[in-house]
Structure 1
Amino acid sequence: MKKIIYIALISLAIIGVYSCRKSQIDDLKLPDPNTRSVTGEGIVAGNVSIDNEYIKVPFKISLTGVAEEAFQVGLTLNNDTVTQLINNGTITNAILMPSAGVEYPNVINVAYGTDNSEGVAIVRRSILERNYGKKVVFALKLSAPGKGNKIAAGKSTIMVIINTADLLKPTDIHYLTLNGGGTYNVVYQGDYIVGPAGVTIPLIVSLENQPSTAFNIKIKENIDTIATLVGRGTLPADAIHLDAKDYSVDTLVRFATGASGTIVRLQIPWPVFDANIVANKKFAFAFSISEASNHVIHPTKSKLIVIVNPNVNLDNNSYITGNGTGLTAKYYTNTQLDPNDGRAPFLTRVDETINFGGDDWPKNVRENDSSPSLSYDNFASRWTGEFLAPVRGDYIFYQTEWDDGARLFIDGKAIIDDYTTQWDKPSRNANIHLERGVKYKIEVHHRENVGGQQARLKYEVPSAGINGARVVPKSQLFPTP
């Protein structure tokens, strides 16, 4: 076995040079002839062991003679001595073992009839891994032996120096990484979870090498990093950081016992995506692993830039209520010809919906208060503007309650074209697939011949749960600019 752990006895002379406290100097009196002197001998050769979580360092004390009675020797950490030896350069490239990183017995039991005894110090492996390439040092001080026994002068301290590079290889280190570090682009149909309230993006924290017992990690968000990276041109100019109220992220997560990974959840509600439809900005975040109660945070792969593409919103099919005001309506009197025949309209206005019928229509279509209304049995109408599709799915549009001729254009394509003198025909319906949140150009024609008159533009989207024909609402209609 390599000489990976060095255990030294600190003599009175050394302590005298580096100690500034009288209490650290051992008693120089000779022991009573009937007592035994106790000396820290150090490591039990060949018995140092290492596993996935701990390093066990056996050490030994000896007596100048056989114990005539069983007794105990106290043990404490001697951090002051180690700190002085590191600070003055006696021990180089070294750190003091944190008190929480080593466990040791408070006493060593010496049995009757023996001249030695052993103890075991248990060192947390993560301390060594976090300080790989350095020496990790701690010292144990013998004190207060029972039954009248004494500590040998100048031999009360056992120093343990662990050279991490001898004990471990770089590939042995339990590194914690966040999605592999770097930049993580979240795009449509990527690795995220769609829910009714929004999208959950799982960020994977991975543990390299053999899993261990349960432990916690903390996640930190570095908000200023995004603005800095956008300013440098490292991130695209259309990347923005959301307000704190517009998203949530786990800041404390737990690794279960035996787990090699855990999930940090980044959650963004659908309304936040909807509010960004026009701006079409990317959402950017900067996360890092800030603390871990066990193992080692990777120096680079623990930092992650997350960029969420706005097209993730394509997986959102909650109903979007627009802020429309209706469609531009042009009425043509004393004609049933195509309203696109070049003649000037009798009247242009905005109609909130296409939902007309009975004696009030077209009685209420007047050029001004003193003029006659639109002709009852000989007129044409044309509505234009945009339709904001509230959901994604296969739409069915209806002009079945329509007297007389009917046409419906979506993005310039006539999906219903029956500009005749017939009315209320059940066949006047059409199917078309539309995407949620997209504004489509819409144009609707009406022809009134004789008799009654009505025009009710309706729709339904059974594939998205909108069942039963209903009038296209004002909120989804926008007039021609």
Structure 2
Amino acid sequence: MTRRHTRPRARAWALLTAAALLLPTGGLTASAAAADTAPGTSAAPAEQDGPAAVEVQGLKGEYFSMSAPGARDFAELGGTVLDPQINFSGLTGTFQELNGRTEHTTARWTGRIEAPATGDYTFHAIGDNGFRLFIDGEPVIDHWEPDWDNEQTSAAIRLNAGEKHDFRLEMFQDTGGANMFLRWSTPTLPKQLVPMSAFTPPDDFEVYPLEPSVGENGRQVRVRFEGRVGNVKGLAE
């Protein structure tokens, strides 16, 4: 299992993961296996050959300490988490929890990215401090500078629907606050955050296979697992 950080932005995902750990795979009564659909949600259609495999969305996030102030290297790994997307208004809490410090740190997010539709995608990155983005190992944005909130825009990149491309984004945090955002746009798509649905973690990054969804009223959570689960009576407690 991967170590997960329960910052407010991702607290719901961490709670779902914790709940998943309480549910050992194994026998399950018919009523529990066909869990009632929460109001505001819809059950996935049944398939003759069984439900579709759960695909984990998000990126492998690694958080490091620098070898020395100003080195801006990836010297000591403090922790690894599954991050939904590059949408961080405050990273100092994460660095503090995983690295024991808020300054002179770095982060790296890796996985694959897939466009929802074929088109020419422009990436827009902004952060505190420097950052660099690679697609299929090629630099798309390179702004390894000690400034902050200085948005950088890539050249347009042709992405085809259904094709996954290697993704890597790195950033460093010198002093003060830390944030990082990644958006994209096309001639027909307004600039917006790259969604969690566009990302999958690396194949060698082992995460718990579950697919959570939240009802429209925000008060019910439905979790789909890759296999059958049991011992659900104590979950509410």
TM-score by length of 2: 0.57
Report 1:389-400 matches (<5 A): 389-399=115-125
Report 1:88-167 matches (<5 A): none
Number of the residue aligned with 1:476: 198
Please tell me the residue identity of whatever aligns with 2:86: I
Q: Is the 8 A contact 1:418 1:428 kept in 2?
A: no
Aligned partner of residue 364 in structure 1, secondary structure:
helix
CA distance in structure 1 between the partners assigned to 2:100 and 2:131 by the alignment: 19
Deviation at 1:334, TM superposition (A): 4.2
Number of the residue aligned with 1:37: none
- After superposition, the Cα gap between the structure-2 partners of 1:466 and 1:410, relative to the gap in structure 1 and judged at 3 Å, is same
Q: Is 1:438 matched up with 2:156?
A: no
Number of the residue aligned with 2:219: none
- Deviation track 1:392-427 (CA, whole Å, cap 9, x = no partner) reads 11101011x211101000000001111110122234
Aligned partner of residue 430 in structure 1, secondary structure:
coil
Among residues 94, 110, 113, which one is paired with 1:364 in the alignment?
94
- After superposition, the Cα gap between the structure-2 partners of 1:432 and 1:449, relative to the gap in structure 1 and judged at 3 Å, is same
Number of the residue aligned with 1:466: 189
Q: Is 1:347 matched up with 2:79?
A: yes
Q: Is the 8 A contact 2:92 2:177 kept in 1?
A: no
- Deviation track 1:155-183 (CA, whole Å, cap 9, x = no partner) reads xxxxxxxxxxxxxxxxxxxxxxxxxxxxx
Please tell me the residue identity of whatever aligns with 1:349: V
- Deviation track 1:319-352 (CA, whole Å, cap 9, x = no partner) reads xxx954211111112455454x5x3411111111
Alignment RMSD, CA only? 2.1
Please tell me the residue identity of whatever aligns with 1:328: K
- Deviation track 1:180-218 (CA, whole Å, cap 9, x = no partner) reads xxxxxxxxxxxxxxxxxxxxxxxxxxxxxxxxxxxxxxx
- After superposition, the Cα gap between the structure-2 partners of 1:409 and 1:452, relative to the gap in structure 1 and judged at 3 Å, is same
- After superposition, the Cα gap between the structure-2 partners of 1:337 and 1:390, relative to the gap in structure 1 and judged at 3 Å, is farther
Deviation at 1:466, TM superposition (A): 1.2
Q: Is the 8 A contact 2:86 2:180 kept in 1?
A: yes
- Deviation track 1:278-321 (CA, whole Å, cap 9, x = no partner) reads xxxxxxxxxxxxxxxxxxxxxxxxxxxxxxxxxxxxxxxxxxxx
Please tell me the residue identity of whatever aligns with 2:77: P
- After superposition, the Cα gap between the structure-2 partners of 1:479 and 1:338, relative to the gap in structure 1 and judged at 3 Å, is farther
CA distance in structure 2 between the partners assigned to 1:412 and 1:423 by the alignment: 25
Report 1:68-467 matches (<5 A): 323-335=55-67, 337-339=71-73, 343-358=75-90, 361-365=91-95, 366-367=97-98, 374-399=100-125, 401-462=126-187, 465-467=188-190
CA distance in structure 2 between the partners assigned to 1:331 and 1:431 by the alignment: 29
Number of the residue aligned with 1:290: none
Structure with greater proportional strand content: 1
- After superposition, the Cα gap between the structure-2 partners of 1:452 and 1:344, relative to the gap in structure 1 and judged at 3 Å, is closer
Percent identity for Structure 1 against Structure 2: 30
CA distance in structure 2 between the partners assigned to 1:375 and 1:430 by the alignment: 35
CA distance in structure 2 between the partners assigned to 1:442 and 1:338 by the alignment: 20
Aligned partner of residue 175 in structure 2, secondary structure:
coil
Deviation at 1:380, TM superposition (A): 0.4
Report 1:13-92 matches (<5 A): none
CA distance in structure 1 between the partners assigned to 2:56 and 2:198 by the alignment: 5
Aligned partner of residue 325 in structure 1, secondary structure:
coil
Q: Is the 8 A contact 1:409 1:444 kept in 2?
A: yes
Gaps of 5+ in 2: 1-53, 204-237
CA distance in structure 1 between the partners assigned to 2:76 and 2:174 by the alignment: 20
CA distance in structure 2 between the partners assigned to 1:427 and 1:402 by the alignment: 9
Q: Is the 8 A contact 1:325 1:477 kept in 2?
A: yes
- Deviation track 1:102-161 (CA, whole Å, cap 9, x = no partner) reads xxxxxxxxxxxxxxxxxxxxxxxxxxxxxxxxxxxxxxxxxxxxxxxxxxxxxxxxxxxx
CA distance in structure 1 between the partners assigned to 2:149 and 2:124 by the alignment: 10
Q: Is the 8 A contact 2:59 2:201 kept in 1?
A: yes
CA distance in structure 2 between the partners assigned to 1:346 and 1:388 by the alignment: 28
CA distance in structure 2 between the partners assigned to 1:472 and 1:417 by the alignment: 18
Q: Is the 8 A contact 1:404 1:420 kept in 2?
A: yes
- Deviation track 1:402-461 (CA, whole Å, cap 9, x = no partner) reads 111010000000011111101222344332111111000000011111222110111112
Gaps of 5+ in 1: 1-321, 368-372
Alignment size in residue pairs: 147
Please tell me the residue identity of whatever aligns with 2:192: R
If you compute each CA radius of gyration, which structure gives the higher value, 1 or 2?
Answer: 1
Q: Is the 8 A contact 2:72 2:104 kept in 1?
A: no
CA distance in structure 1 between the partners assigned to 2:56 and 2:114 by the alignment: 8
Deviation at 1:376, TM superposition (A): 1.6
Q: Is the 8 A contact 1:397 1:457 kept in 2?
A: yes
Number of the residue aligned with 1:179: none
CA distance in structure 2 between the partners assigned to 1:374 and 1:460 by the alignment: 36
Considering Cα pairs closer than 8 Å and 6+ residues apart, tell me whether 1 or 2 has the greater RCO: 2
Q: Is the 8 A contact 2:129 2:173 kept in 1?
A: yes
CA distance in structure 2 between the partners assigned to 1:394 and 1:437 by the alignment: 14
CA distance in structure 1 between the partners assigned to 2:150 and 2:161 by the alignment: 29
